[in-house]
Amino acid sequence: MNPPEFPRPSRGEIWEVDWSPGRGSEQTGKRPALVIQNDHGNHSSLYPNTMVAAITSHGREIPFHVFVRKARLNGLMSDSYVKCEQLITISKERLIGKAWGKLTEDEMGQVAEALRRSLALT
């Protein structure tokens, strides 16, 4: 029997995610998220999950948030913040449609630094 087909996200892509049901202050509804998991896991048909960071248009200038200007490349509809303290492992089934776009290498470098701060890896 073949494993089920899942979307194949890539690190750095922005996808719409069905966050529901959320609890407490977790994200809910359909909202954009940045794929932060490595592509080995993302592209494996044997691994049905991926890791994402929430994206919001109502972020703050804090060390865990990365400001991203809306651009054709990333597909965002407004200037936004990647919330590198709000991380979650989700089933790839929660990814809706196809990727909106992707972040630049510079933006992903900023995300990597914010993730290191958030997870106390520096």
> Which domain range does residue 103 map to?
13-118
pLDDT band at 29 (very low <50, low <70, confident <90, very high): confident
Residue 106 falls inside a structural domain: yes
CB 100 within 8 A of CB 73: no
Could you report the per-residue pLDDT of 37-48, keeping only the tens digit for each? 999 999 998 899
State the total domains in the chain.
1
The CATH number of the domain holding residue 107 is 2.30.30.110
Residue 5 falls inside a structural domain: no
Residue 7 falls inside a structural domain: no
Preceding amide of 21 cis, omega within 30: yes
pTM over 0.85: yes
Residue 4 falls inside a structural domain: no
Residue 62 falls inside a structural domain: yes
Could you report the per-residue pLDDT of 59-114, keeping only the tens digit for each? 788 899 999 999 999 999 999 999 999 999 999 999 999 999 999 999 999 999 99
CB 21 within 8 A of CB 52: no
Residue 18 falls inside a structural domain: yes
